């Protein structure tokens, strides 16, 4: 592919709910552009952008994919994104580097959960948006109903610039509201004809509304329009393009990806209405303690942002870059702002699905791939060594669903750490945690499918098999009253024996205060050299668990007396005596089990608020308050035991039909009700 200047580049992402037809639309665009010879089938392994085996098995997109194509002497960098909530991290990354989000909406199903979710992200980013109403050739498809939903959800900026000709199975063309012409696809390609008589009145009505909506945003056009001077098509398109770039106007076009009907017109509109990279606001980067603006100037200093990392067991790491400034060429040397690593960009390539094609240069605004960078990750900024800058990180959603993983064999265990590191490099919305209390390795994702996909990739890409276990809750134990005991360790077996006696007093400490060891031995009843051994014995016993087997916390232990033998006493003897004394005193101190409590923020549409609050109560939680977000959603804050939300990501999605989302952080420990202690012990034992 030849090198295109920034003004001839368009970066667009196809976004929307799973099943709305994004991948098929990508295929149709590539087909119309002559980039492929036939439209592939989703789930069959024949589409350009769904190339992972995990995507073929699930029949859905799970990883963003780049598929550039040429259209009317322009380069369109098309990014196909997942529409399933579990893979929302890919959506966040894609929207960060595109200049237009094309929302693909199913004309049968209307505006669905992930469509609205993606809209809110684009809105926060100030990203220009456009809507393609798809599947108009299906039964029960309704353009009018879908348009009404779009206006209801997204406001007055929704502006249809096409109308469908024919309904459901008889859909076969579109009416252009700019030019008052009809485009008929009965022969497979567009035939431009006069507007069908039955549509004239409706088309004129919508056309007039469209013109009025456009001229309102331009004082000069508005004045002329009020004087009876109707703006030309070119003037209207230019004014609409300005409205699109400002994020105030959202054109609506329509068609069918499977037809394909009006897909070529979508490509035309991308060229005419989508902003070029240089038309977007300058990038904000940090230099030292200052923030500066970076213009997308191909003659400036080379600067690139890494928005996606691909882990290939054979090729190695492949980094997808958005060129923010300057022009990248083979053998360019840049430095990672995070690691300080000097990186050699040996070759510059463009990606077409999973295929790469080398290019001679990549100017500001373009999207390309570079292989085998040493220490560069998703979210890093590459800049000249003497001019280090850092762009803001991608705002990935917080993973909330965990599974415990264990290597299946010793061979798997030897390779597990490296493989996990590579998987986390590829998907920044995954998280790995080692819980020292439960001794589990936890892999966190955005949902069950997300975690399962990562585990499948571990085996397919790196040959590492893991088994899954239930996530254990890190319960703890403490005491509720003062108790004391004398710990003894005496052993005589010929030669030197073992002798140590210590008197311990246990007192409950404040919640979260941890452990304090107090030495009040007087008169040399225990020599000073053996006191550390007493403390060590206590600490080891606390870590090993109390009467219920959980680590002991929030306790003060005082040693105030003891006995020793000048020959038989040793550090080991006093450590064992301390362990015995601690256990005896602990059992007398009315021990209790503590459970972790999480502070949860749940974001839901208001219609689900009652159901969610009822569910919180059923989980032994307490609502702390609620508020209204900027988009009108309700945010409910609650304290809920961690044991009750291990699978909450799945349960909340089911309860709210996919609309609910939440974040969770540890808040404090509190006493576990006595009737649940046996259940906690069984869970800890893996029963």
Domain range summary for the chain, segments of one domain joined by +: 6-279, 283-391, 401-469, 477-589, 594-685
pLDDT tens profile 515-543: 999 999 998 899 999 999 999 999 999 99
Residue 198 is predicted with a pLDDT of 85
3-state secondary structure of 105: strand
Fold of 594-685: Alpha-Beta Plaits (3.30.70)
Q: At what angle do helices 448-462 and 410-426 cross, to 10 degrees?
A: 120
Residue 56 is predicted with a pLDDT of 87
User: Of 222 and 61, which is predicted with more confidence?
Assistant: 61
* 71 token code pair: 């259209």
Residue 629 is predicted with a pLDDT of 87
Nearest to 155 by CA among 123, 132, 126: 123
Q: Does the structure show a pLDDT above 70 at 38? A: yes
381 Cβ neighbours under 8 A, 6+ residues apart: 285, 303, 304, 305, 306, 324, 336, 337, 338, 389, 390, 391
Tell me what the mean pLDDT of segment 91-117 comes to: 97
Query: Above pLDDT 90, what percent of the chain?
Result: 80
Cα–Cα distance measured from residue 642 to residue 75, given in angstroms and rounded to the nearest whole number: 50
Contact between 183 and 191 under an 8 Å Cβ cutoff? The reply is yes
Residue 188 is predicted with a pLDDT of 85
Strand partners, 105: 133
pLDDT tens profile 138-157: 999 999 999 999 999 998 88
The reply to whether CATH 1.10.3210.10 applies to domain 477-589 is no
* 477-589 against 594-685: fold identical: no
The count of residues in the chain is 687
Q: Kindly provide the b/e burial profile for residues 61-81, where b requires at least 16 CB atoms within 10 angstroms of the residue's own CB.
A: bbbbbbbbbebeebbbbbbbb
Contact between 276 and 9 under an 8 Å Cβ cutoff? The reply is yes
Distance of CA 229 to the CA centre of its chain: 50
Residue 222 is predicted with a pLDDT of 79
Kindly report the CATH number that applies to the domain delimited by 401-469: 3.30.70.870
Residue 573 is predicted with a pLDDT of 95
* CA–CA distances in Å: residue 537 to residues 108, 401, 514, 515, 530: 69, 37, 17, 13, 11
410 conformational bin, left if phi > 0, alpha if psi -120 to 50, beta if neither: alpha
Q: Which CATH superfamily is domain 283-391 in?
A: Translation factors (2.40.30.10)
Residue 442 is predicted with a pLDDT of 97
Q: Does the structure show a pLDDT above 70 at 33? A: yes
Nearest to 17 by CA among 204, 126, 149: 149
Cα–Cα distance measured from residue 445 to residue 465, given in angstroms and rounded to the nearest whole number: 18
Cα–Cα distance measured from residue 35 to residue 21, given in angstroms and rounded to the nearest whole number: 19
Cα atoms found within 13 Å of the Cα of residue 126, Cβ hemisphere only:
6
Cα–Cα distance measured from residue 192 to residue 215, given in angstroms and rounded to the nearest whole number: 27
Tell the residue number behind the tokens 């669903």, with chain if given.
401
pLDDT tens profile 571-611: 999 999 999 999 999 999 999 999 999 999 999 999 999 99
Residue 494 is predicted with a pLDDT of 63
Query: pLDDT tier at 368 (50, 70, 90 boundaries)?
Result: very high
pLDDT tens profile 646-655: 999 999 999 9
3-state secondary structure of 208: helix
Cα–Cα distance measured from residue 134 to residue 432, given in angstroms and rounded to the nearest whole number: 39
Cut 0.85: pTM above it: yes
- What are the two backbone dihedrals, phi and then psi, of residue 558, each rounded to the nearest 5 degrees? -115, 130
Q: Does the structure show a pLDDT above 80 at 216? A: no
pLDDT tens profile 48-71: 999 988 888 888 899 999 999 999
Tell me what the mean pLDDT of segment 320-328 comes to: 96
Residue 632 is predicted with a pLDDT of 84
Query: pLDDT tier at 495 (50, 70, 90 boundaries)?
Result: low
* Beta strand ranges found along 269-302 (DSSP E): 283-287, 290-294
Cα–Cα distance measured from residue 568 to residue 212, given in angstroms and rounded to the nearest whole number: 100
667 Cβ neighbours under 8 A, 6+ residues apart: 597, 598, 599, 639
pLDDT tens profile 279-298: 999 988 988 888 999 999 99
Q: Which CATH superfamily is domain 6-279 in?
A: P-loop containing nucleotide triphosphate hydrolases (3.40.50.300)
Residue 687 is predicted with a pLDDT of 62
Strand partners, 357: 350
pLDDT tens profile 258-271: 999 999 999 999 99
């Amino acid at each position: 592919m030849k090198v295109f200047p920034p003004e001839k580049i368009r970066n667009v992402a196809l976004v929307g709910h799973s099943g709305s037809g994004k991948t098929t639309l990508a295929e149709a665009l590539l087909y119309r552009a002559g980039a492929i010879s036939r439209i592939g089938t989703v789930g069959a392994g024949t589409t350009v952008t769904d190339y992972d085996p995990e995507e073929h098995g699930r029949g859905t997109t799970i990883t963003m994919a780049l598929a550039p194509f040429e259209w009317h002497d322009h380069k369109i960098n098309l990014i196909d994104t997942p529409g399933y909530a579990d893979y929302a991290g890919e959506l966040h990354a894609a929207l960060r580097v595109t200049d237009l989000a094309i929302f693909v909406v199913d004309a049968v199903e209307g505006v669905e959960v992930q469509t609205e979710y993606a809209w809110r992200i684009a809105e926060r980013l100030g990203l220009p948006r456009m809507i393609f109403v798809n599947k108009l050739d299906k039964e029960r498809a309704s353009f009018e109903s879908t348009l009404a939903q779009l206006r209801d959800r997204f406001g007055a900026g929704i502006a249809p610039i096409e109308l469908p000709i024919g309904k459901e199975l008889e859909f076969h063309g579109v009416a252009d509201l700019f030019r008052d012409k009809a485009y008929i696809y009965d022969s497979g390609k567009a035939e431009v004809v006069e507007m069908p008589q039955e549509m004239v009145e409706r088309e004129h009505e919508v056309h007039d509304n469209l013109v009025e909506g456009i001229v309102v945003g331009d004082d000069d056009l508005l004045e002329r329009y009020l004087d009876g001077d109707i703006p030309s098509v070119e003037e209207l398109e230019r004014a609409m393009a300005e409205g699109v770039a400002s994020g105030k106007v959202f054109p609506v076009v329509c068609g069918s990806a499977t037809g394909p009907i009006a897909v070529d017109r979508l490509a035309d509109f991308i060229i005419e209405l989508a902003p070029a990279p240089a038309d977007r606001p300058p990038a904000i980067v940090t230099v030292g303690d200052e923030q500066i603006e970076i213009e997308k100037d191909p003659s400036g200093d080379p600067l690139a942002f890494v928005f996606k990392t691909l882990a290939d067991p054979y090729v190695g790491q492949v980094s997808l870059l958005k060129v923010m400034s300057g022009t990248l060429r083979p053998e360019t040397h840049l430095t990672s702002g995070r690691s300080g690593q000097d990186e050699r960009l040996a070759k510059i390539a463009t990606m077409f699905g999973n295929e790469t094609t080398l290019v001679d240069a990549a100017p500001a605004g373009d999207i390309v791939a570079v292989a085998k960078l040493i220490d560069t990750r998703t979210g890093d900024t590459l800049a000249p060594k003497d001019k280090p800058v850092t762009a803001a990180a991608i705002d990935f959603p917080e993973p909330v669903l965990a599974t415990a993983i264990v290597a299946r064999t010793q061979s798997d265990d030897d390779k597990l750490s490296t493989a996990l590191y590579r998987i986390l490099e590829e998907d920044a919305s995954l998280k790995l945690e080692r819980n020292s209390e439960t001794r589990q390795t936890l892999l966190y994702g955005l949902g069950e499918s997300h975690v399962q996909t990562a585990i499948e990739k571990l085996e397919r890409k790196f040959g590492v098999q893991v088994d899954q276990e239930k996530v254990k809750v890190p319960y703890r134990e403490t005491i509720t009253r003062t108790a004391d005991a004398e710990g003894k360790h005496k052993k005589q077996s010929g030669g030197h024996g073992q002798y140590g006696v210590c008197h311990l007093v246990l007192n409950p400490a404040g919640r979260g205060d941890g452990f304090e060891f107090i030495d009040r031995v007087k008169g040399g009843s225990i020599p000073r050299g053996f006191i550390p051994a007493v403390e060590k014995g206590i600490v080891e016993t606390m870590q090993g668990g109390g009467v219920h087997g959980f680590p002991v916390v929030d306790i003060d232990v005082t040693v105030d007396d003891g006995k020793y033998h000048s020959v038989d006493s040793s550090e080991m003897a006093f450590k064992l005596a301390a362990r015995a004394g601690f256990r005896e005193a602990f059992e007398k101190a009315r021990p209790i089990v503590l459970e972790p409590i999480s502070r949860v923020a749940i974001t839901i549409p208001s219609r689900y608020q009652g159901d969610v609050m009822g569910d919180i109560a059923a989980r032994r939680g307490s609502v702390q308050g609620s508020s209204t977000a900027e988009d009108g959603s309700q945010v409910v804050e609650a304290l809920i035991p961690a044991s009750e939300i291990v699978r909450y990501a799945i349960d909340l999605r089911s309860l709210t039909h996919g609309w609910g989302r939440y974040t969770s952080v540890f808040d404090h420990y509190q006493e576990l009700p006595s009737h649940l202690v046996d259940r906690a012990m069984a869970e800890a034992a893996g029963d």
